[in-house]
Amino acid sequence: MTDLYSFDDFYDLFFDEKHCLDYLYALRWSNGFCCPRCGCNDSWEISPYKNKCRNCEYQCTVTAGTLFHHTHLPLTKWFRAAWYLTNINSKATAEEIKELIDIGLRAAKSVNKKLKSAMVCDDFNTRKLKGLVEISGKRKPTDQEKRKYRYARNDKNVDFEDFVYLAVEIVNKKVQRIKMSVYPYDNKESFTDFVCNSVEENSTLQLSFPIKRIRIEIDHLDKRIKKMGISLMRKPDTYNYQFVEKTFDDFMDFYKANSYRPESINEAVNEYTKRINGFNPEISFEDLMQNAINNNTIDFRRLPIIK
């Protein structure tokens, strides 16, 4: 099925409840009914869109165990909201959904939240960054560093001892995806390893901190990344690294708002990375519905804050 770019095309297909149920049935059981409890393919049809397994006698509707489980809203309204999110505005607010499908604000918030929780990509944490990439790193500065380096004074709210590296992929002057890793500060190879594991070949790096801060030889770094075709841009001290620094500030707000402690820094980094990279605004209507059927969702709190 192709994506539905026209609302008229969409409405012609899903103008009533029966057509929505037919679509979900074909999407979920394209090869015939399969019991979600025991995997048996043999069943009785108790009523339309409801089957009873011949093996374990489990009764299952087409919406059971999906994003639409026990919903009190017509599927036509769910489908209309899903089409709007995938074809018009992936960042739609609950107010927009409320006006679109004519429901209360509380129900609109639930629909918006659940559908966006299904707008995820499977490889959000495995793909490397590419193109223009800004990199920064922070740790708790020592008193000597605070006196010696001006930049260390800005890290006064950082309480973790290990070094946290952050790389952001910039597309059209916006942060597209990020990579974060935690390394012991005495590991002199940590930054080079982070770059090689996080950035694709033929990319461009911009560093937002002095090289001596990460305690490696710049020649050694150049040697490793040049083999990958990665170029390192040296910006003047007055250059404003707004993307990576703003993202790091947002991470620190997330870190403190969720009451993470220094020993839980790895958990905080993983959660924040999922929060940023997990949301897929370019997902198609069919993929969103497939995720809703499979219930392949992550907790909505891990997704980006969409205003």
For 270, list phi and psi in degrees, rounded to 5: -65, -45
Same domain? 74 vs 95 = yes
User: What pLDDT sits at residue 76?
Assistant: 95
Structural domain including 297 reads 7-30+65-122+281-302
Same domain? 231 vs 257 = yes
d(CA 102, CA 208): 48
Same domain? 14 vs 83 = yes
Q: Residue 44 domain-assigned?
A: no
Lowest mean pLDDT across 83-97, 201-215, 268-282? 201-215
Q: Which residue has the higher pLDDT, 29 or 304?
A: 29
Same domain? 76 vs 199 = no
Q: Which residue has the higher pLDDT, 240 or 71?
A: 71
What secondary structure does DSSP assign to 131-178, as a single string? SEEEEEEE-PPPHHHHHH-TGGGGGTT---SSEEEEEEEEETTEEEEE
pLDDT category of residue 162 using cuts at 50, 70 and 90: confident
pLDDT digits (tens, 9 = 90+) for 126-142: 778 989 898 888 776 55
pLDDT category of residue 78 using cuts at 50, 70 and 90: very high
Check which CATH number belongs to the domain holding 237 and give it.
Answer: 3.30.420.10
User: What pLDDT sits at residue 125?
Assistant: 64
User: What pLDDT sits at residue 235?
Assistant: 58
pLDDT digits (tens, 9 = 90+) for 26-59: 999 988 888 888 888 999 999 889 999 999 888 8
pLDDT digits (tens, 9 = 90+) for 168-185: 999 888 888 899 998 887
Q: Which residue has the higher pLDDT, 267 or 103?
A: 103
pLDDT digits (tens, 9 = 90+) for 216-227: 445 556 667 777
- The tokens for 42 are 């043999």
- The tokens for 240 are 């404003």
User: What pLDDT sits at residue 254?
Assistant: 82
Instruction: Report the number of distinct structural domains present in the chain.
Output: 2
Same domain? 140 vs 260 = yes
In sequence order, the 6+-apart residues with CB closer than 8 A to the CB of 46 are 52, 59
In b/e form, how buried is each residue of 72-107, taking b as 16+ CB within 10 angstroms? eeebbbbbbbbbbbbbeebebebebbbebbebeeeb
Same domain? 176 vs 269 = yes
Q: Residue 1 domain-assigned?
A: no
